[in-house]
Amino acid sequence: MSDRVKIAVRGLKKSFGSKVVLDGVDFDLHEGESLVIIGGSGSGKSVTVKCVLGLMEPDAGSILIDGVEATRLAGAERLGLMHKFGMLFQGAALFDSLPVWENVAFGLIQGKGMNRARARDIAIQKLGAVGLGPEVGMLSPAELSGGMQKRVALARAIAAEPEIIVFDEPTTGLDPIMADVINDLIIKCVKDLGASAISITHDMVSTRKIANRVAMIYKGRIIWSDIAQRIDHSGNQFVDQFIHGRADGPIQMEIRAL
């Protein structure tokens, strides 16, 4: 970990209609660091990273990526910036019209213009890195289980060797053993690439395992952020309630439909 800041987010705001989702989110991601953003369902975790990746346009705020203001980029510059990123989507988001190997090789073939044969070799190798044999490469994504889809999505996210990897709920919906396998893979991949990582989760086991630093989002703001070891002694009631999963406390779940 170094002191160089890879991503600096300041005052990020985003509303959908009258519903305010992000209300001034601030955080930094340092080079080589693994930041985990925790928060309840619907608290705006996915929206935050989608803004960072330029998949959604924030209403206000600044996002500096390696010192470049990303909110003002568009078109080719925007796509160029994507070379720095790898993203693992919440629902895996594999391309179901393509076989598994081509999913993994996609960023190499389309994004970087590598020839198919070479990209395919790399894809098979990346599948190996997430514990899947070459024969899986021939299958279609629909033929895989949820855990395998997540692994393929992980292989796809790391295939182009990005500098920053974003994981959106990597372990949600998996059994505890598969979740731990994914956690180990995340740690390994991030370390092998020397990448910086942002993970989103509400899984505390996963958080404790993969985080260097933890930030908690609540009501559209980061209400607490510190190194991972201090999470049990945060002195913050919100964090305490969240990590122990208690129904009563300062956080009241919005049961009513909005």
Residues of this chain that interact with other proteins (CB under 8 A) are: 50, 53-55, 79-80, 82-83, 85-87, 89-91, 93-97, 106-107, 110-112, 156, 160
Contact partner, 15, from other proteins, ligand ADP, Mg ion, none, Cβ < 5-8 Å per class: none
Distance between CA atoms of residues 140 and 194, nearest Å = 31
Alpha helices by DSSP H, listed for the chain, are 45-52, 75-81, 100-106, 116-129, 146-159, 176-193, 204-210, 237-244
Would you tell me which residues interact with ligand ADP (CB under 6 A)? 16, 21, 39, 41-47
Question: What are the residues facing 8 on neighbouring strands?
Answer: 28, 64
Closest distance of CB 58 from Mg ion, Å: 16
Shortest Cβ 150–ligand ADP spacing (Å): 16
47 contact, one of ligand ADP, Mg ion, other proteins, none, CB 5-8 Å limit per kind: ligand ADP
Tokens of 78: 């925007």
Q: Which does 112 bind (CB under 5 to 8 A by kind): other proteins, ligand ADP, Mg ion, none?
A: other proteins
Closer CB to Mg ion, residue 47 or residue 164? Answer: 47
Contact predicate 202/251, CB 8 Å: no
- Give the residue with the Cβ less far from other proteins, 94 or 217: 94
For residue 239, give the DSSP letter. Answer: H
* Partner whose binding site includes residue 248, from Mg ion, other proteins, ligand ADP, none (CB under 5 to 8 Å by kind): none
Q: At 50, which amino acid appears?
A: K
Q: Which residues contact 31 (CB under 8 A, 6 or more apart)?
A: 1, 2, 3, 4, 5, 6, 196
> Is the separation of the CB atoms in 225 and 213 below 8 Å?
yes
Min separation Cβ 113 and ligand ADP, Å: 31
Partner that binds at residue 101, options Mg ion, ligand ADP, other proteins, none, CB closer than 5 to 8 Å by kind: none
Residue window 44-63: x/- pattern of binding to Mg ion, with contact defined by CB under 5 A: --x-----------------
CB 212 within 8 A of CB 197: no
The interface mask with Mg ion, positions 124-143, x = CB under 5 A, is --------------------
Helix (H, G, I), strand (E, B) or coil at 89: coil
> Beta strand 19-30 with 196-201: parallel, antiparallel or unpaired?
unpaired
**Amino acid identity, position 25:** V
Q: How far is the CB of 90 from Mg ion (least distance, A)?
A: 5
List the single partner that 41 binds among Mg ion, other proteins, ligand ADP, none, CB under 5 to 8 Å by kind. Answer: ligand ADP
Q: What's the one-letter identity of residue 139?
A: L
Our finding on whether 103 is near Mg ion (CB under 5 A) is no
Residues found near Mg ion in the complex (CB under 5 A): 46
